[in-house]
Structure 1
Amino acid sequence: MNPKLRSVLFWIHLVCGLVVGLVVAVMSFTGAAIAFESQIVDWADHDARHAAPAAQGTPRLTLEEMIAKAKEAKPAAQPSGVTVSPEADSMVTVALGRGAAVYVHPYTGEVREQGAQGWRAFFHTMEELHRWLAASGDNRAVGKAITGVSNLAFLFLCISGLFLWWPRKWTLRSMRPTLWFRRGLKGKARDFNWHNVIGFWSLPVLVVLTASGAVISYRWASNLIFTLTGNEPPAAQGPMAAAPVPVPTPAPGTKPQPLDAQFAAVMKQSNAWESITLRLATPPAAGGQGGRGEGAPRGEGGARGEGGARAEGAPRGEGGARGEGRGGPGGAKGPQASAFTVREQERWPLFATNTVSVDPFTAQTLKTETYADFNSGRKLRTWLRFLHTGEALGWLGQLIAALASFGAVFLVYTGYALSWRRFVPRRRVQAPAASTVAAPPAVESETHAA
């Protein structure tokens, strides 16, 4: 690289890092902290989600009765989703608006609060910091703008850092100091070594995390994915955006089939399902879009709840199913299908789910959409969403994402430390007086002159 161009790039890299470094450190630390949120919450919440089976012969409550039990326990909340699991001892999850849910015993009607409240509060705080620096009210948009710009700046720092690191000579001797940690180093040499080594090994992951973060944060970046793959961008931002499925107009006075009948229709066509979630219709007065339920996904672009209730163990950010009822996204009118999100045990990609749209009046399946049915733009967009959290590659991907995020904290620290030493150099320590006395007069004068 041309020395002058390298110098200009260096100073841009340095100034950019100084400006956004603190925000990047907060986002990196919180990103590492929430890497295993779903596994930790599911583990800590196990006892609350499971109960001893009822006595033999006890009839199972209908889903409508379970929802009524949840409303009775939480009269101020609006049920927004229902999740069922195949295990005999699993409670039924009823999502209640934004960020809340209860567990209902399918035989006794017992209503339980969500467990792991301490963990949930911790992860909630980390998520708020990660998305918009824990800002509230009108300041939330400002916080989101700051994190979005800082994320883009960090992407630039990663790419520019690669050019600055690029060795003039590709020899093992010249590259060794930047490929692994060296013992015995202190001060500037140590910080320089750490900055280069951590940056080198975490660079590919950090580029993926920041690029996917931009796609999540900005509509233009999300649309660009569809444009580059030759597909029309969807009307709504997000990997799971899909048009609602219309329902043939029923005869006057026709009532919807019971929810159990609709669930049964979905179960028949699902292979070894792990969970099935139905997004319930939410009256406009209650918020329209519903909310995030038990373990529900962290939504797109910082929103908590792009979809309905998340099934146990489901990936964060996974869009919930739309319920039948008063129009759909974009203000669609007329009866809409009950859209079920089905998570099967054997699936690829790991975040894949099936959306089964059912006619609520006949319990007949109208449409089944799987990951294979997505166009290339939607597939790539979905991959980027779950690569951002590492969940696309399971626990190993989450671990790699967490380590890279934690490494970014040290990149910020060493970057600030190197900048401090550059702008605020340490004063030279004068030689002890005894040495001056012992030195010959000629040498002493040379020392002082230096």
Structure 2
Amino acid sequence: MNKTFKKNIGLLHLWLGLASGLIVFIVALTGSILVFEEELDEFFNPEFYTVATVKNEKLPVDVILAKIEKEYKITEIERIHTFHDPERTLIVTGTDSNKKDLIFAIDPYTGKVQTSIPEKGRFFSVVLDLHRHLILGEFGKAVTGISCLIFVFMLLSGMVLWWPKKLKNLKQRLTVKWSASFKRVNWDFHSTFGFYTFLVLLIISLTGLTWSYKWFESGIYLLADGTAKKPSAKVENPTKIDPKNDKAFFYQKIFSKTDSIYKFTGDTQIRIPSDTINSLMVIKLNTEKSIPNISSMVYFDKYTGEFLKTKPYESFSNGDKIRRLIYPIHTGSIYGYPTKILAFLVCLFAATLPITGLLIWTGRKKKKAQK
């Protein structure tokens, strides 16, 4: 490998690493926490997830909704989430008269609200906002996006720098000499484990670009379907004005209709649009599948409850199917706990890279100053 080329790569690796180090540290650390979001949240907030007693029959969803609308002055219901697991709570998201978005965890057997929290006030909502936007909105999103691109370059350039000049030196690059000085151990740790985690970190970084850049997401569809345009998942609502008809058991009927269409075991979520353009969408997650995020959809008129259209998972384009796998791949949940633990450890290591890299740089500066 050309010596000048490797030297230039080293300089870019150094200065881009110093420029993006703090952001990489924050994103990697919050990412490691988010890997076990569900498990940690359920441990610290069990009342949000499970009911005290499982009974024979659940209350109709509409009865529960009417109760919380009255007690909590909810003006708009946005999402209703039911679960196949009999111990799980019913989760409802709504907006109150003060325009505050609230999430309710309700006992589906008694209708009792076990807990209610502001949607943006959840601990993991804050961690996710920090992970994606640094809690700085669109500006933060731009910063994390650029830092993610830099990190991809850092991984690739790191491999160039790691590659030994001679094959006989390969063994040295694959081990950490723990008995050596701190400076040597720090360099080995940064370099050696950087090599071992390279592929997983590259996958996590590339999938993370999906949330930062539309062109990257479009590229997935271009490669998979031959078109860069992402297919729209929305169906227009035929009824534009609410006819105010009798709506007894409106949502319960929608849940029942969905279950009659998709007979597999799964968790079901109703998403209710706030506008008059789009129809009501029901998503049923197939929990019988070993891979997560395998969902099928049904569309209903948001005012009359009339069935409009189905969109089974089998009808999704290759681009849609790949896009749905991006999240479980990015978070490590694709194959359950084995890949989650791997993602957690790799993200923790990624958080150390800016620190060990900084120590390598300051060590070199100190050495030059002494000379």
The amino acid of 1:123's aligned partner reads: F
1:396 aligns with 2:346: no
Match of 1:414 in 2: 356
Shift of 1:109: 2.9
Match of 2:254 in 1: 262
Q: Could you say if the C-alpha distance between residues 205 and 46 of structure 1 is closer, same or farther in structure 2, counting changes exceeding 3 Å?
A: same
The amino acid of 1:129's aligned partner reads: L
Shift of 1:249: 9.7
Match of 1:243 in 2: 234
1:162 to 159, 165, 170: 159
Match of 1:199 in 2: 194
What percentage of residue pairs aligned between the two structures are identical? 24
CA separation in 1, counterparts of 2:124 and 2:40? 10
CA separation in 2, counterparts of 1:342 and 1:215? 23
SS at match of 1:392: coil
CA separation in 1, counterparts of 2:147 and 2:2? 28
Residue correspondences, number: 362
Structure (1/2) with the larger helix percentage: 2
Contact 1:80 1:96 in 2 (8 A): yes
CA separation in 1, counterparts of 2:247 and 2:3? 73
Contact 2:220 2:319 in 1 (8 A): yes
Q: Could you say if the C-alpha distance between residues 272 and 372 of structure 1 is closer, same or farther in structure 2, counting changes exceeding 3 Å?
A: closer
Where in structure 2 are the equivalents of 1:41-60 lying within 5 Å?
41-48=41-48, 49-53=50-54
1:143 aligns with 2:85: no
CA RMSD of aligned residues (A): 3.0
Deviations 1:187-216 (A, max 9, x none): 321111111111001100111111111122
Deviations 1:363-397 (A, max 9, x none): 66543323332212222222223311112232222
1:346 aligns with 2:341: no
Deviations 1:132-157 (A, max 9, x none): 2233xxxx222221111111101100
CA separation in 2, counterparts of 1:362 and 1:144? 39
Match of 1:292 in 2: none
Shift of 1:77: 5.9
Contact 1:245 1:357 in 2 (8 A): no
CA separation in 1, counterparts of 2:165 and 2:283? 53
1:233 aligns with 2:235: no
CA separation in 1, counterparts of 2:140 and 2:288? 40
Match of 1:108 in 2: 110
The amino acid of 1:9's aligned partner reads: I
Deviations 1:74-131 (A, max 9, x none): 215632111222444543221124763113334533222148x9xx844233223212
CA separation in 1, counterparts of 2:193 and 2:300? 51
Q: Could you say if the C-alpha distance between residues 259 and 272 of structure 1 is closer, same or farther in structure 2, counting changes exceeding 3 Å?
A: same
Q: Could you say if the C-alpha distance between residues 27 and 248 of structure 1 is closer, same or farther in structure 2, counting changes exceeding 3 Å?
A: closer
Contact 2:47 2:115 in 1 (8 A): no
The amino acid of 2:262's aligned partner reads: S
Match of 2:94 in 1: 96
CA separation in 2, counterparts of 1:99 and 1:30? 24
CA separation in 2, counterparts of 1:80 and 1:362? 17
Shift of 1:272: 4.2
- TM-score, normalization: structure 1? 0.72
The amino acid of 1:155's aligned partner reads: V
Contact 2:197 2:346 in 1 (8 A): yes
Shift of 1:245: 5.6
SS at match of 1:101: strand
Match of 1:320 in 2: none
CA separation in 2, counterparts of 1:387 and 1:38? 16
SS at match of 1:51: coil
1:274 aligns with 2:266: yes
Deviations 1:34-67 (A, max 9, x none): 111022223444444313256x8xx864322211
Match of 2:11 in 1: 11
CA separation in 2, counterparts of 1:414 and 1:359? 56
Where in structure 2 are the equivalents of 1:309-324 lying within 5 Å?
none
Q: Could you say if the C-alpha distance between residues 262 and 422 of structure 1 is closer, same or farther in structure 2, counting changes exceeding 3 Å?
A: same
CA separation in 2, counterparts of 1:39 and 1:77? 32
- Structure with larger Rg: 1
The amino acid of 2:229's aligned partner reads: P
Stretch of structure 1 that moved more, 103-112 or 8-17:
103-112
The amino acid of 1:15's aligned partner reads: W
Match of 1:127 in 2: 128
Match of 2:176 in 1: 181
The amino acid of 1:7's aligned partner reads: K
The amino acid of 1:422's aligned partner reads: R
Match of 2:68 in 1: 70
Structure 2 unaligned runs (5+)? Answer: none
Contact 1:177 1:193 in 2 (8 A): no
Where in structure 2 are the equivalents of 1:306-385 lying within 5 Å?
326-328=276-278, 336=279, 338-358=280-300, 365-385=307-327
Q: Could you say if the C-alpha distance between residues 106 and 14 of structure 1 is closer, same or farther in structure 2, counting changes exceeding 3 Å?
A: closer
Q: Could you say if the C-alpha distance between residues 351 and 107 of structure 1 is closer, same or farther in structure 2, counting changes exceeding 3 Å?
A: closer
Structure 1 unaligned runs (5+)? Answer: 236-240, 285-325, 329-335, 430-450
Deviations 1:8-32 (A, max 9, x none): 1111111111111111111111111
- TM-score, normalization: structure 2? 0.86
Structure (1/2) with the larger strand percentage: 2
Stretch of structure 1 that moved more, 222-231 or 102-111:
102-111
Deviations 1:208-260 (A, max 9, x none): 1111111221111111222233024127xxxxx5131655999x886667221
Q: Could you say if the C-alpha distance between residues 133 and 90 of structure 1 is closer, same or farther in structure 2, counting changes exceeding 3 Å?
A: closer
Match of 1:224 in 2: 219
